[in-house]
Amino acid sequence: MLAGLLLTLAVLVTAAGSASASVPHADGTHRAPQVLVPAGSPKARASTVMCVKVAAKAGFSFTKTVSTSAGAQPQLVVAVAVAMAESGCVPRAKNVNDDGGSVDRGLWQMNSRYHPEVSDSCAYQIQCNANAAWKVSSHGAHWSPWIAYNNGSWKVYLADARAAVSGGFTFLLGSQGAGTCLAAERGDHGAGTRIWQWKCDADDTISGGR
């Protein structure tokens, strides 16, 4: 059984700026203004790379597409663009809404009232938040629970999200039973790309994945 995922990304991306007004969620809550990581900063670029890694590990696919107002897009690209618009890919991002105190938490801003199954400790832990977004989005198929998707603001970050996913993005898969590693010859995801298999050694870092 193949398991593990190593993502190597070397890209220049832009994260979100700042929200300027309270806006309604699809579920009826309202978001308070939030200041996000300054666009173009090294911290913003690192945050976006981190968003790609945890989204891919959660299960969002870079080959399976979802129909959007911007056309068919890879699930992983949509997931990252939504996170950039919602939180700037800031793990501790927090918005207290004007609906009596519900809170939007973490990378994909999981609302405390409508998603009480997502604890604070989970919401502010990057992989747990990504896993929750995977479930709430019906495995990347439905994005209407996010205001950034409904109001179209996610599309501002679409090109940057696409660059983060495609630029230097490589997989390293490891077979735990056989002790072998499998990877593409280069960072090319297309059909027909040459792949290599070898006995894993100490330099092959494998992280747990789906």
Q: What is the DSSP string of 41-90?
A: -HHHHHHHHHHHHHHHHHT--SSSEEEETTEEEEHHHHHHHHHHHHHTT-
Tell me if residue 120 falls in helix, strand or coil: helix
Reported as a single tens digit per residue, the pLDDT across 45-93 is: 677 888 998 998 899 998 899 999 999 999 999 999 999 999 999 999 9
pLDDT confidence bin for 143, thresholds 50/70/90: very high
Model confidence at 117: pLDDT above 70: yes
- Please tell me the least confidently modeled range out of 33-42, 85-94, 107-116, 196-205: 33-42
- Token pair in block for residue 207: 């992280």
pLDDT: which is higher, 20 or 203: 203
CB 177 within 8 A of CB 160: no
Residue 25 dihedral angles phi and psi, to the nearest 5°: -80, 165
Amino acid at the residue 143? W
pLDDT: which is higher, 192 or 135: 135
| Fold of the domain built from segment(s) 11-166 | Lysozyme (1.10.530)
Model confidence at 142: pLDDT above 80: yes
CA 148 to chain centre: 14
User: 67: which residues sit within 8 A by CB, 6+ positions away?
Assistant: none
The widest CA-to-CA distance across the chain, in whole angstroms, is: 57
Reported as a single tens digit per residue, the pLDDT across 145-204 is: 999 999 999 999 999 999 888 764 555 566 666 777 766 655 555 566 677 677 776 555
The burial class, CB within 10 Å (0-12 / 13-18 / 19+), for 1 is exposed
Which sequence spans correspond to the domains of the chain? 11-166
Token pair 């050694």: residue? 201
